[in-house]
Amino acid sequence: MKIKKSAVKTNWFKYNETVQFNLKPFPFSSVKVSDFDATLWEQFKFCVVDWKGLEDEDGKKLKCDEENKQFIFDFVPELREHVFASVRTYNEKIYGEIKN
């Protein structure tokens, strides 16, 4: 069986016409069974590499840093869920590609 390691890379996922997230797949070796909530945050923080189209209340580009990732994770559930759904879909795609 050939293992295609090049399948694991970042990829852009569109939320709407203006917002996109650059995501990388989450390695399952990082899952912590004992601390489920922290694991969700760690997954989110790890997977979100960059974004486009997010602004603060003053219209300034929202920097993709840990503080802003934490805010989105905690208080913007539709974006948090979009990220998790996109990463889940991306992981499934990668699993298929790696084996081929």
pTM of the prediction? Answer: 0.82
Is the model's pLDDT at 33 over the cut of 60?
Answer: no
Token reading at 96: 């298929």
Rounded CA gap, 91 and 28, in Å? 10
Each residue of 35-53: pLDDT tens digit? 555 588 888 999 999 999 9
Rounded CA gap, 88 and 57, in Å? 30
Is the model's pLDDT at 5 over the cut of 80?
Answer: no
Task: Check the CA dihedral 20-70-66-68 and report its sign.
Answer: positive
Between 90 and 77, whose confidence is greater? Answer: 77
- Say what the pLDDT of residue 13 is: 97
Alpha carbon distances (Å) from 56 to 9, 12, 46, 51: 29, 21, 22, 13
Each residue of 49-81: pLDDT tens digit? 999 999 999 999 999 999 999 999 999 999 999
Rounded CA gap, 90 and 84, in Å? 10
